Structure 1
Amino acid sequence: MNFDIDKMTDLLNEKLVNWGEMIIKLLPNIVIAAIVLVIGLYIAKFVRRITLKLVSKISSNVTLNNLFSSVVYFAFIGIILFTVLSILNLDKAVTSILAGAGILGLALAFAFQDIAANFMSGIFISFRKPLKVGDIVQIKDYMGKVKMINLRDTVIETFQGKTVIIPNKEVFQNPIENYTILQKRRFDLSVGVSYGDDLEKVREITFNAVKDIEDLSQEDEVSVFFMEFGDSSINLSVRMWVNTPEQAIYNKVRSQAILNIKKAYDANDIMIPFPIRTLDFGIKGGTTLAETPIQMATANPAE
């Protein structure tokens, strides 16, 4: 038993001596690695500040700017750590870390591919700027005002008072109708008049009825076009530009245009015809006109 204890003691001493010798040999490398680590951390912070200033000149998205500068910062920290490990002759540890990071990154990419897609789409949206907070847009079936643009989703408040959160992948991959870029909006109002009306007179009266509506754009004229021969009317289109993209003003102008046109048509005996329907009582399986209650009552007045 004493022999075993002595043997273990000698082995432990030998290991400690070997480790001490290794530490003494690595002492210059340890000093250099410590210096590189400290200086590298200061440089990383400096690079982060510079990156944030440069990105802020390109993008006004504070969240994106902070994220990008943080990514650069941590990438620089990673380079410093790998450099320190190499100085300490821990190349195998570096290789193991890189292999583990690659496997972990691949696993995370599969697990969070939708999140990653939304995240990358948010970055592209922030740089391309197809829309911004306050814009009136339509994305897929949702129309409203943009309230927030995050890295993962875009928040829209519809004109019905609903808040819609749309993943940025859907925003990026679908057409975006932006009504705010031009700072004005056009709407086409369809009207039908009788075949018996004078079309030149209709055009003039329609134009005069809507040309002086408040909030119409002064840069664009009102246009009146006859579009088609309908089933019971000749259809025309009144095209007007509103001087703001705001939905409330848009609806107000459209409502006023309908009121003015109806009032002008009534004053000038222009008829907006109702749809005409023809009833056929002779269809097989139906009731003939002679068998209707009116005809039967006429045929038998005594009853």
Structure 2
Amino acid sequence: MDINKITDLLTDKLTDWVEAIIKLLPNIALAAVVMVIGFYIAKFIRKIAGKLIHKVSNNVTLNNLFSSIIYFIFIGIVCFTVLSILQLDKAVTSILAGAGILGLALAFAFQDIAANFMSGIFISFRKPLKVGDIVEVKDYMGKVKEVNLRDTVVETFQGQTVIIPNKEVFQNPIENYSYLQKRRFDLSVGVSYGDDLEKVRQITLDAVSDIEELSKEDTTQVYFVEFGDSSVNLSVRMWISSPEQSVYNKVGSEAIMKIKKAYDANDIMIPFPIRTLDFGIKGGTKLGEMPVQISNKEQ
């Protein structure tokens, strides 16, 4: 190939590029201005969004996440605007198509993570539980130690740390014992059929009335609930002024001791199960024959 032709081709190509760049100079300048202003506006919007979200949620992690999402969305808008100013519409279309395909693939690949993440967001806004609450979730009862965007950490009263995915927390019933800042203790007791039930009721109320941790706003109640096989069963319902498990256990222990002591002092009997033993089953020895056998062995 002739060197002159190659030179001419290269020159023409470079000339076209230079002309295209010169024509785009106003667009390049405008794009630069739009990008600089856009970045400053994005930072300002991020700051304002953080303050507004903080009024709705006290979760710092969640607030930072939403602020960052709003920031990057605005940055994306600025970038696409700049590409349009530079007349790179085909590039914008390709980027959007690629982002859509990538987003769909990631949604299928990380659907469980996404479900836990979204559940964490709903939990943060609805606040069915918070750090320090005593809760029961998925058969785990304990104190909430952390509420993250992906999982909730509960420390059981046996000392185990349980990490529960937020999807399980959000989709299952939550028993929050700290919501009312008090708990009810129900104690079942049985008394003899021969006892005066009115007397039993009053002695039971008097026995537990001086427990220090009982709520002053709520009254202790005694209900006779059923006729049992060997006793009349009653339920003592006491409201405790603290939701803490240690206080709950302490009140229950004191109530049992005080009721037992009061019943003993007033001749109220708490029946215990009576069993009849049959020694005449196949392969065994009848009860009537045992003294004879013992006496024979002694001889």
TM-score norm. by structure 2 comes to 0.94
Secondary structure of 1:144's counterpart equals strand
Q: Deviations over 1:159-218 (max 9, x none)?
A: 222221111111111111111111110010011112222222211111111112111001
Give distance in 2, aligned partners of 1:276 and 1:5: 118
- Residue 293 (1) aligns with residue 290 (2): yes
Deviation of the 1:229 alpha carbon: 1.6
After superposition, residues 97-246 of structure 1 pair within 5 angstroms as: 97-246=95-244
Kindly provide the amino acid, as one letter, of the partner of residue 279 in structure 1: L
TM-score norm. by structure 1 comes to 0.93
Give distance in 2, aligned partners of 1:269 and 1:31: 100
| Stretch deviating more after TM superposition (249-258 or 156-165) | 156-165
Whether the aligned pair in 2 keeps the contact of 1:290 and 1:296 (CA below 8 Å) is: no
Deviation of the 1:231 alpha carbon: 2.1
Give distance in 2, aligned partners of 1:302 and 1:162: 58
Deviation of the 1:295 alpha carbon: 5.8
Give distance in 1, aligned partners of 2:73 and 2:246: 49
Give distance in 2, aligned partners of 1:195 and 1:185: 31
Aligned CA distance change for structure 1 residues 274 and 211 (closer, same or farther; 3 Å): same
Aligned CA distance change for structure 1 residues 302 and 65 (closer, same or farther; 3 Å): closer
Aligned CA distance change for structure 1 residues 83 and 302 (closer, same or farther; 3 Å): closer
Kindly provide the amino acid, as one letter, of the partner of residue 45 in structure 1: K
After superposition, residues 13-24 of structure 1 pair within 5 angstroms as: 13-24=11-22
| Stretch deviating more after TM superposition (250-259 or 4-13) | 4-13
Deviation of the 1:4 alpha carbon: 4.6
Aligned CA distance change for structure 1 residues 264 and 98 (closer, same or farther; 3 Å): same
Which residue of structure 2 aligns with residue 76 of structure 1?
74
Give distance in 1, aligned partners of 2:76 and 2:140: 43
Deviation of the 1:46 alpha carbon: 0.7
Give distance in 1, aligned partners of 2:287 and 2:110: 74
Give distance in 1, aligned partners of 2:27 and 2:244: 67
Kindly provide the amino acid, as one letter, of the partner of residue 127 in structure 2: K
| RMSD between aligned residues | 1.9
After superposition, residues 272-287 of structure 1 pair within 5 angstroms as: 272-280=270-278, 285=282, 287=284
Whether the aligned pair in 2 keeps the contact of 1:289 and 1:295 (CA below 8 Å) is: no
Aligned CA distance change for structure 1 residues 148 and 290 (closer, same or farther; 3 Å): closer
Which residue of structure 2 aligns with residue 249 of structure 1?
247
Give distance in 2, aligned partners of 1:257 and 1:189: 8
Which residue of structure 2 aligns with residue 269 of structure 1?
267
Which residue of structure 2 aligns with residue 30 of structure 1?
28
Give distance in 1, aligned partners of 2:292 and 2:197: 41
Whether the aligned pair in 1 keeps the contact of 2:280 and 2:287 (CA below 8 Å) is: no
1:54 to 52, 55, 71: 52
Aligned CA distance change for structure 1 residues 16 and 289 (closer, same or farther; 3 Å): same
Give distance in 1, aligned partners of 2:156 and 2:88: 58
Q: Deviations over 1:89-139 (max 9, x none)?
A: 111100100000001011111111111111111110110011111111111
Q: Deviations over 1:19-45 (max 9, x none)?
A: 111111111111111111111111111
Deviation of the 1:292 alpha carbon: 4.1
Whether the aligned pair in 2 keeps the contact of 1:138 and 1:176 (CA below 8 Å) is: yes
Give distance in 2, aligned partners of 1:110 and 1:95: 23
Q: Deviations over 1:42-65 (max 9, x none)?
A: 111111011001111111111111
Taking every aligned residue pair, what percent have the same amino acid on both sides? 76
Give distance in 2, aligned partners of 1:197 and 1:6: 125
Aligned residues: 299
